[in-house]
Chains A and B, each alone.
Chain A
Amino acid sequence: MQTQVNQTSNNIIVTENLGKSVVTSEGTLHILSSIDLIIKSGESIAIVGESGSGKSTLISLLAGLDTPSTGSISINGKQLTSMNEDGRAALRNELIGFVFQSFQLLHSLTALENVMLPLELSGDKHAKAAATALLHRVGLSHRLTHTPKQLSGGEQQRVALARAFVTKPAILFADEPTGNLDSKTGATIVDLLFELNLENHTTLILVTHDHTLAARCQRTIQLDSGCMV
């Protein structure tokens, strides 16, 4: 499934004055403030910062998983902030892929079924063939019928990568993709991530603590106490 990207502009994500705050018993807590960001199509961006700096909040806002308190986000020319949850869900289905630190595979499904799932959700008739091909591409053709419990951490993350790329998303969000892996396995996964990214011309936005990984991205956004520095 090739995603239609807005050709009129090269900017795939634009945020203006983006902010997120929550009200606590001790007053309003500003998690993110005044984030102005332009991300071009095909670009790879690393979001770095210390724990609690607002990285995960930023990625959740950009992916439409959460709603901002202030400002606006436009993805592929569409105003995310004016959409309701169902509208954002449709946009996610159309444009966005995810890779998580904790893999987020469904334990009741096999590797193949996990990869097929996003295609099945969009009604793709050739889900199985596409998923099999991608699992082959990530080196897991011999593990198709294994459930996550029967796979190692690295293998699970490879399944997650296959699931993320199987819909050929325009944007891929990766949240600490190597956070749960040892350095060697992590490096293999990162290589695979960038290879797939290149092959699919995907815009990659990844959150990481790892400066080596951040360095492989074209641009780095540093967050400190919810502000870009």
Chain B
Amino acid sequence: MSRFNLALRLLWRDSRTGELTILILALVIAVTSSTAIALFSDRMKRTMTNQTAEFLAADLVIESPAPVPAEWLAKAMKLDLAQARTADFSSVLIEHDELLLAGIKAVSAAYPLRGFLKTTTGDYLTETITRNGPEKGTAWVEKRILPALKLNLGDPLTVGEKQLTISNIISYEPDKKGDFYSFSPRVMINDADLQATGIVQPGSHVHYFFQFTGEPKALAEFKRWLKPQLNPSQRILDINEDRPELGSALERAERYLGLSSIAVILISGVAIAMATRRYTERHFNATALLRCLGCKQNEILWLYSSQFVVLGLVASAVGCLLGWFAQEALFHLLRGLLPQQIASPGLLAVFFGFIIGMAVLLGFALPPLLRLKQVSPLRVLRRELEPLPSSAWLIYGLSLGIIGILIWKYTGDLKMTASILGTGLMTLLALGLLIYGLLNLTRKLLPSMSLTWRFGLQGLFRNSRASVSQILAFSLTLVAMVLSFTVRTDLIDNWQNQLPNNAPNHFALNIFPAQRAAFQQELQLQHITGSQFFPVVRGRLVEINHTPVQQIVSKDTQGENATHRELSLTWTKELPEENKIVAGSWWNNQQAGLVSVEQKLAESLKIKLGDLLKFTVGSQQINATVTSIRKLRWDTMKPNFYMIFSPGTLDAYPSTFITSFYLPEPQKNMLNTLVKKYPGTTILEVDFILQQFKTILAQLTQAINYLLYFALMAGFAVLFAAVYATLDNRIYEGALMRTLGANRSLLRKTHIIEFSMLGLISGLLAVVISEAIIYALYTQVMDMEYRPSLYLWAVIPCTGALFVGMAGCWGVRHVLNKSSLRILREQY
């Protein structure tokens, strides 16, 4: 205990003199940012998950053509899951001699479990948010219904055999789906009236959605328990399975948040390592004296490490507190963009910040600290005796280990971890050697340079090893900043491209071939931009190379889903936009009997080029040979197909056409015209989905922007701190040069040259490393297109030169303003 007290006393005495300032600052920055980001991303993630759950109006949904067994609901109740139910079906409404096929949705009292409904009694400007569906005896209808059936609010509406009163116009429902049931205008009724309508009879075509919310653990358990009991006509929906396009946006955003955390921690880690190194070097003499006074090696280690543990605890506590405030401030800034209900901060995330603080301290500070154990007591007599540096394996191994664990923890993705670590490390190693070589090479040019340049550059060459490690440290900091910036910019661009403002918001299906030209003309007349018209033949994949598909697919895969239902088969001469051939080639001639398969389905069904696929269309069979595999984006809101055939293959079969188009809000009335003119055509409205999707992306974008600012701020702060940590020797040498007659101007120029070169080289190195990591990240992990960014090559080295130059010159300004003698004395 007395040793610990002594450690505390020494720590306190050290802190009075400002020895620990940089170290504490670096640690506080690391913990503040990791806590803030952990808290922020945790809350954001939960908020987003809650919000995306609104798409389902629940966290988990069972879709079933019939009511599910009572024991399932009992199990859900046992797990404390909240429950609601909706039943969707089509029914023809007849009022005032007008007929309209409507999508009826009967909702239970608890619906919606997530999200809200919006209704209005007049125009769309006075929408009311409500968390419950219509009351018994009333019906909410979509606006289009009223003119179509010549009805007004308050009028009676007969659904099946039940007469209901129209009480509201429904303008938004969270779980509106782009499927058949939502093409027709919505009528929402209370579940209690369902029986009385008499529409739902055994054998009726009804889609039941049993919705559940609750604790993630309970939901996971429920899902596990449920899965084996589902029959082929039932399916579980959750956000990842039902909305892959949203799931992937969220996943990428989460990965970005994780990446930012790692970037900030890496930046702080570098600062901690540099600050500890400075601390260690400044404590060689004190340690030698302690050794001389009888301290054993282990006691030295214990003395310093217990000081660092205390330091870590205090700085982590402060960092956690600041991190808490920082994320609160972040949410405050974002309040206009975020949903009303924000998930509460998780204490676990705070604890995580604390752990991060200690882990980063251990990983980055321990190796330099261990050097103190090696200080020889003889140093009291011979100052030049320096302890051996800690083993490189220990230094890099420990920090890499910590970084590796962090990346893995944040991403939960070993592939990403290995990708970042592997590429980064290899590049670092190769470039470290390259810089070392270049420095030594440039040294040879020194004699031909002017005095100022010679002195400036000599600062770098004097200790090549130290310079290389400083350059690598600055580079790492810059890399972290570049990564945060570039990935964020590309991610946002990618999202914006994904959903341009005029992304199609309507699908038209079942356009008969005879009506196709007229339909197309109608759209053109109204100046509506539409996508290509694709012919569609409904068919089922039955065999692959004469083996039934059921024997090939594994459970719960995309392949299984695709083989359980009829697929939309199409043919086209040209490769559709947004499709990319990844294997084989597109047909150039008009040969029939060829098929191009979507990449993920091909992987799931193990389909290869040259395989023979057999399809059934109605009672007939078609064979086609696979000549290409396509990659496509499902989130373009344009018709996409698993199977595209060569022209001539499907000609003999009855087909309809599908297209998508963008219809601006003011032109919405045109839908009624279209529906009336082409009664057989199904029109799906996907505005709501698009709007929700865009809102979420906007929120994520904003959140990510703030995170970036945070990372950049931390980066610049740490860059300054890190430059400071390397100044001791330079200040001493500068003072010495002044005593030998160097004037201020020479010294100033020398410093500018030295630090700017340091920054410039670090910047160049940072660009190379960043490009390598970004390439690996995009191609291996984030599934984004890699494009080298030329502007980085100009901006980053200049930024490096400017900031390291400024920080360095600011740090050594004492040499110019203070008495040299005083500096020299203080150094001793």
Contacts and interface: CB of A to CB of B under 8 A. Distances in A.
Nearest to A125: B2
Given A108-B17, A108-B19, A123-B2, A89 B377 contact: yes
A94 B295 CA distance: 11
B16 A90 contact: no
A205 to B, nearest CB: 13
Contacts of B381: 56, 59-60, 65, 100, 175
Interface string A83-124: 001100111111010101010101111000100011011110
Listed from nearest, the 7 A-B pairs whose CB atoms lie closest are: A93-B294, A86-B296, A108-B17, A92-B294, A65-B378, A65-B377, A123-B2
B382 A120 contact: no
Contacts of B285: 104, 106
B286 interface: yes
A149 interface: yes
Contacts of A93: 293-295
Given A65-B381, A108-B19, A94 B294 contact: yes
Given A65-B377, A100-B380, A121-B6, A86 B297 contact: yes
Contacts of A91: 294
A89 B13 contact: no
A91 B295 CA distance: 10
B137 to A, nearest CB: 82
B292 A56 contact: no
Contacts of A92: 292-294, 377
A31 to B, nearest CB: 12
Nearest to B6: A120
Nearest to A180: B828
A43 interface: no
Interface in B278-315: 285-286, 289-298
Contact of B290 (A65, A102, A107, A121): A121
A66 interface: yes
Nearest to A61: B378
Contacts of B289: 104, 106
Given A108-B16, A109-B13, A120-B9, A89 B378 contact: no
Contacts of A117: 290, 293
A98 B292 contact: yes
Contacts of A120: 2, 6, 9
Contacts of A89: 291, 294-297, 377
A113 B16 CA distance: 13
Interface residues of B, number: 29
A63 B285 CA distance: 18
Contacts of A121: 6, 290, 293-295
A85 B293 contact: no
A59 B377 CA distance: 13
A65 B292 contact: yes
A65 B3 CA distance: 23
A27 B377 CA distance: 26
Contacts of A113: 9, 13
| Majority DSSP secondary structure for residues of B touching A | helix
B14 interface: yes
A86 B166 CA distance: 92
Contacts of A98: 292-293, 380
B783 interface: no
A96 B377 CA distance: 13
A108 B826 CA distance: 12
B307 to A, nearest CB: 12
Interface in A116-150: 117-118, 120-123, 147, 149
Interface string B8-26: 0100011011010000000
Nearest to A98: B292
Interface of A: 56, 59-60, 63, 65-66, 85-86, 89-94, 96, 98, 100, 102, 104, 106-109, 113, 117-118, 120-123, 147, 149, 175
A60 B293 contact: no
Given A108-B286, A149-B826, A175-B381, 11 more contacts: A85-B296, A89-B294, A89-B295, A90-B296, A92-B292, A102-B828, A108-B14, A108-B17, A109-B13, A120-B9, A123-B2
Nearest to A56: B381
Nearest to B5: A120
Nearest to A102: B828
A66 B297 contact: no
Nearest to A94: B294
A123 B296 CA distance: 14
A198 to B, nearest CB: 23
Interface string B362-388: 000000000000001110111000000
Contacts of B297: 85-86, 89
Contacts of B290: 117, 121
Nearest to A86: B296
A109 B15 CA distance: 11
Contacts of A175: 381
B294 A104 contact: no
A120 B16 CA distance: 19
B828 A122 contact: no
Given A65-B378, A89-B377, A106 B286 contact: yes
Given A113-B13, A117-B293, A66 B6 contact: no
12 contacts: A60-B381, A66-B376, A85-B296, A86-B298, A89-B297, A93-B293, A98-B292, A106-B285, A106-B286, A109-B13, A113-B13, A117-B290
Given A98-B380, A108-B14, A90 B294 contact: yes
Nearest to A167: B293
Contacts of A149: 826
A107 B286 CA distance: 9
Contact of A65 (B9, B19, B380): B380
A147 B9 CA distance: 16
A100 B382 CA distance: 11
A106 B19 CA distance: 12
A108 B380 contact: no
A63 B379 CA distance: 13
Contacts of A147: 17
A122 B294 CA distance: 9
Contacts of A85: 296-297
A104 B376 CA distance: 15
A172 to B, nearest CB: 13
B689 to A, nearest CB: 65
Nearest to A57: B381
A118 B615 CA distance: 90
B284 to A, nearest CB: 12
Contacts of B291: 89
A30 B246 CA distance: 78
A164 to B, nearest CB: 10
A98 to B, nearest CB: 6
Contacts of A90: 294, 296
Among A89, A94, A121, the most chain B Cβ lie within 10 Å of the Cβ of A89
Nearest to B9: A120
A86 B295 CA distance: 8
Contacts of B14: 108
Contacts of B380: 65, 98, 100, 104
Contacts of B293: 92-93, 98, 117-118, 121
Nearest to A85: B297
Nearest to B19: A108
B17 A107 contact: yes
A141 to B, nearest CB: 20
A106 B17 CA distance: 11
Nearest to A67: B378
Contacts of B6: 120-121
A90 B296 CA distance: 7
B378 to A, nearest CB: 5
Nearest to B1: A123
